[in-house]
Structure 1
Amino acid sequence: MLKFFRRRFGFFVLIFLFCFLMNAGRTLQAMKSEDCLGTISLQLSRSLELILEHVSKSIKALAEEYARIYEATPPMDEAEKGLWMKSAFENGKTVSFRPFSSGPEPVFQAPVPTYLFYNGRHITPHVTRELKAFVSMTPLFKTAYQTFGYSWVYMTTADEAFFIYPYLPLKEAVNNLPPTKQDFYTVADFQGRSFGWQRPYLDLADAGMMVTVSYPVYSRDTLLGVISRDITLTQLSRRLLKHIAGRTGNLVSIIMDREGLAIAANRAAATEEIDRVNTRAGSAILYYRTSGVPGNKKAVFSSNSLFNKAGENVLTCVEKDPHAGIWHLQVKVGQTMYKAAAARISATGWLLITMSTDS
């Protein structure tokens, strides 16, 4: 009897150890999966940080160079000013100058600079000085654009002179508000003399979702203007996220702002939805959320339930633990549970979420 009991006891011990090891293996596998998602999110967020940092530093360098050139540049004499005025084309109070070219107007985004003024023909000596400084800055703006091709580079002076590369036709340059009243100007951090990031928006020239970073230009304590750079987020995200799918295609990454506004995703259907919904509305209104967006009655939620639930859960995690470096979470859609990890892009406050579609 004792012998039988020992055998039976040993049998149960083996079963217990087998079950324990199986559960431990599953737990370890789950931990590895979470660590993997966290690592991917951190790597992607850091890659995006580096790109945005590069863009920021480029406009700071341009701002410093413009201040130096402006201080060394005298106003135009009457002959030089006359040449510019003969090459002026007007649409309302918007004036476009083409002093170094003849023939038809260049096409949209032609590789040439655009010189604009938004106060009619009231060209003061101070404005002529700015226009001359723009000419000296042209090679630098061209180089900046070429090093990061999916963007615009431009400067707005405090006197409403405007310089942009590549070319912007006059009919596209006309605005209801002067440049100094536009978000790309006012978003600059004037008090801290530092960068300011505009909220992602829909480009009206069919370039998809974009974001603008702006930097104020000073000559000692005098504000000269603001240098800005637009980034086409659709192309940027495709470049950054296109390889993130995992060996079995089970990894999904999305980017949203701090309120859940959909910015980008590594799924063609999701990218198409962002462009389609926002283009139809004429503004950025698509969100990865399941509940209302405060102060935005036009908000539309994505058709992707997983993205919406993930976005909502991440916003809840950030609210509960705003200083975490990374947030690990599970997302339940119906009866299925998915693993996810999120990281913040510190420069903009955006959130990058990576999910495994293996339940």
Structure 2
Amino acid sequence: MMTVQSPKPPLIRVNAVIFIGFPILAAILLPMWGVYAGFTTAQWVWAVIFLYLNGLSITGGYHRLWSHKAYDAHWTVRLWFALWGAGALQNSILIWAADHRRHHRHVDDNEADPYSAGRGLWFSHMGWMLREYATHPEDFSNAQDLMRDPIVMWQHKHYVALTTFMNLGMPILLGLALGDVIGTVLLVGLLRLVVNHHVTFFINSLAHFWGTRPYTEENSARDNGFLAFLTYGEGYHNYHHIFQKDYRNGIRWYQWDPTKWMIAGLEKLGLASSLQRVPDFRIQRALLDMQFKRAQDLAAGHGEPALLAILEREYQIFTESVNQWTQLQSARYERHREQLGDAMVERYQQLQERWEQATLRGQFRELEFSLRVQRKRLQMLVNQWQLQPLSAG
């Protein structure tokens, strides 16, 4: 019996022109103009500057500021992100953030995630934007907070005018200043836009297929240092999907995350505040959880009862550390609540509170250190076991 395939949703013609037509135009027109007139160093430099202004406005503004509330920003910064984010031609803040929150809530759910990786690399990269799929309706019920933001709503209302000016008007003005309007529009306008699109789309597609999963296997998101280099730090996607409120994606000092550095710089200038950082203990806990899972799977798969017994003891130590951390968190919360309830305390009480808080901080650091040590011990245990011959049976 033949199965009847359901018809494809209607094509969104404007999106097809932008996401398919523009790259074709770039591939044809840029080489032609390059041979005919050439491009100056200044034009290339400005193309990179515009690329970063657009990209950082998406990652630092659309994504970490508005979608995840990972920090607060001064209105001038929010306005700057709204303007250059419009220049990225990826829709308004409101639509972008609502879709992205839906993605995090329903990640890999083919029926609810707007750009589910479960539907394939092409679909998650840009196929989801080419047709009127039911997975991305214009529903802002998850973005009521953004609808109360005057800058977000101003940009949403005037988005077409803003994106037209930023993508056509700005390159024309720059071209007049540089003495080559056509070349500047092609390089700073067209090529920059195409590159910026696919750099962002890599996070929805490649970052769910290519890389490692050190923090969680509950979803398809991967960490990938190479993608982080291309995407202004967004490539540490496995970390981001488990700790989406953190203003950082690359949490190590050596991990490439210019968005994180920009936000930290804005804080030092007094233009950003309330930067959200996941406690190191929770990060170590997630890493250890994954190590235990993989070590136990490895031991069980090869029938190694001795290793399983050692892992069970290690997991007991891990559970005790987690319980201690939870108790400390409760103690810190209660102390903070008491402080809020009685602001008029004596000087000696304030000193006592400081000492007790310092004691709590010390205990937190000890627990964080103990998890790091246990992670290394567990890794050494697995490495040593892998070097040994398999037991008989």
TM-score by length of 2: 0.25
Larger Rg: 1
| Structure showing the higher helix proportion among its residues | 2
| Structure showing the higher strand proportion among its residues | 1
TM-score by length of 1: 0.27
